[in-house]
Amino acid sequence: MCMRRLQLAIKAFFKAFRNPEKAEKFLADEKPQKGKSVDEVEQSHLRLLAFLQHSGRLIDFLKEDITTFSDAQVGAAVRKIHQDCSQSLEELVAIRPVMQENEGALIKVVSGYDPSCIKIIGKVTGEPPFTGVLVHRGWKAHKRSLPKKMGELNNDVICPAEVEIR
């Protein structure tokens, strides 16, 4: 259940990133879950973003307009962000491939396969077993150690503004 939430949170994040107007409209229409106030709703996706922001400044990079930078400048920035966020993600979730075979390998999908682990695409007819080419190995979480909510802080703040006093 937790892995499904993480996958959904990441997918929702990137959909909102690509279409912020639609995301804002959705959030304006959002109603709290039955029996829970908005403050009690699980906020693990925001804690993950906060962690990746803290470790690799991922949100700063994603929100930055990079069109004015050269490919070399973007590449240099991405290398550090990739390293820091990858390390943090490994500490929190330990993501591993669903399938060990290399992409491009011929795979047999047996009857009774788990559709949450294997997505069958292409010209699908009949019932399993199916034989096809592995297009993507998939990802699954082997460890889940996302920090719990800390105190009574505002759940919507992913990273506080920083003000240096001089």
- State the pLDDT at residue 17: 67
Backbone conformation region of residue 16, classed left if phi is above 0, alpha if psi is from -120 to 50, else beta: alpha
Which has more confidence, 82 or 7?
A: 82
Q: Is the pLDDT confidence value at 158 over 80?
A: no
106 DSSP β-pair partners: 133
Mean pLDDT value across residues 123-145: 90
Distance of CA 152 to the CA centre of its chain: 25
